[in-house]
Structure 1
Amino acid sequence: MVYLQVLANGLTLGALYACLAVGFSLVWGVLNVINMLHGSMIILGGYLTYFAWLHWQVHPLVALLPVSALVFLLGWVLQAGLVNRLVHRPVLTTLTVTFGLDLVLYNAMNVLFDATPRRITLDLGTLALGDVVVAWDRILAFALALALTGLLYLVLRSSRAGRAIVAVRMDRDAAALMGIRIHRVYAMTFAIGAGLAGACGALMAMVFPVTTNLSGLLLDKAFVVCVIGGLGTVPGALVGGLVLGLVESFAGHWFGPQNAVLVGFLLMLGLLMTRPTGLLGRRGYE
């Protein structure tokens, strides 16, 4: 029965990984920009949620939408004001710019909040199903992470703005000829990725301590999920996140938690050598 507990832990972790990576994957797939700022945006969302809960007693589920909206606006301003000017430059240029912005945000959070780990403690109790015990805060985080990922999928498939984003991802030149304003789509996509990062940070603060020291690790996780699932697709991020969560959960049980991250990176390297498009990626897509 211990494996059912490991499975439950892996699914919970995997849903958070999917929510963590889906915005990163979308920005990379549509803009061809590797957003090095993504991990710090997740931590920013976690910090904002924590301090709203600590000082104003705002429940994290209530704070989720305002926090996501604030980080969404931050992403829109950064993309429209700076990244859009460089988006057609070589990928190394935009990577360097987002890396510099990450350093600014990372150090600003260290100055304003310091790097002390912080976690929201809700004391909601646990759900016991036989020998499997899962905390309710993890169940809520799991459900909301899946809901946010599914909501993005629906937006991309059914809304006018979502179809414009998909069109630009598939062929930006053809999309421009059809009257789609490419730079506006870029700004919207970057902002959606930032908003999802903020929402993910709010959910993570309910489950794990958040600190600026985790920003680099979270960015690494986003890379791994994109490689496993496939770049630029919501189903790819969902599958990649769940696979990585399950692999790390079982690897932690078998080889010790200190080796779980290593096994995840080994899986990424194996896929890069055997299936570089990922589990759900399309051959030939750049």
Structure 2
Amino acid sequence: MEPLISIALCTYNGANYLPQQLDSILNQTYKNIELIVVDDGSTDGTKEILEEYANQYKEIKLYFNERNIGFNSNFERAISLCSGKFIAISDQDDIWKKNKLELLHENITDNWLIFSNSSFIDETGKIINGQILDKNFSLDGKDFKSLLFSNFVTGHTALFSKEFIPFLLPIPHQGFYDWWMGFVAIYHKKITYLNQVLTFHRIHSSSVMYRDETAKTTQGRDERYKEIIDNLAITKNYKNLCKNDEILIYKLFKAYSRLNFLDKIFLIRIFFNNYPVLFPDLKPRNGLSRLNYALKLVRKTY
């Protein structure tokens, strides 16, 4: 018999698009599923939609938070309530391809986590230009350092095994839960990527990605700087870091936090010497080109 796959779905005022996502999950070709839904205080009719579906489908288990606990904490609660051998993360307003769970399960092998690609759709469900990851994206040449300054693991495309949970939890309150998830999995070399679009990711005015991209556009450098600080702050405290890695991340965190002249010199050296692994998806650079990029990056940061 196929192992049970749990889907962790967190909801908050998602009534406009939730039925489409529930239908796409419940109509998966992989049938042995449970759908764990944790609502974080919705006031727009989301609860009523969930209760209507739960009355029709035995796979759905509903939980309602007594108070709003926020994005990361809500996903942590949803994950902790899952009983499946594997767990998939779901946003409330996406649409899944019918064979998403089947393909992720087939390809995770002995890894802790597998993630895939997604295409964008608009408020009406129409496919629009762009994907989360480049069509040629690969994990080749990447290690944990590749996730210190930017993230390529998106939670809504991921499936992970229950063996991963003791390493994943608790999810830090600051930063992004999927950035943390990717960092932990890649640090232990227990991650793989399936280069297929399996999710239609909806972009609209109330979506998390829309708000993040809008904030980056309006706040620019300051917002990006805060993201990096938050990520370095949580990754430096990961309990399973070896000593040398712990020291490196701590030094990067202190350099970003203090912003003095010596910190700039330190960061230039780090960016120059580690360019291929820190920025693996950028074009290859050597010598003067790499130095100019490191200088440019520090100028942008400060």
TM-score range, shorter chain: under 0.3
User: Larger % of strand: which?
Assistant: 2
Normalised by the length of structure 1, the TM-score is 0.26
Q: Which has the higher contact order (CA 8 A, sep 6+)?
A: 1
Normalised by the length of structure 2, the TM-score is 0.25
Larger radius of gyration: 2
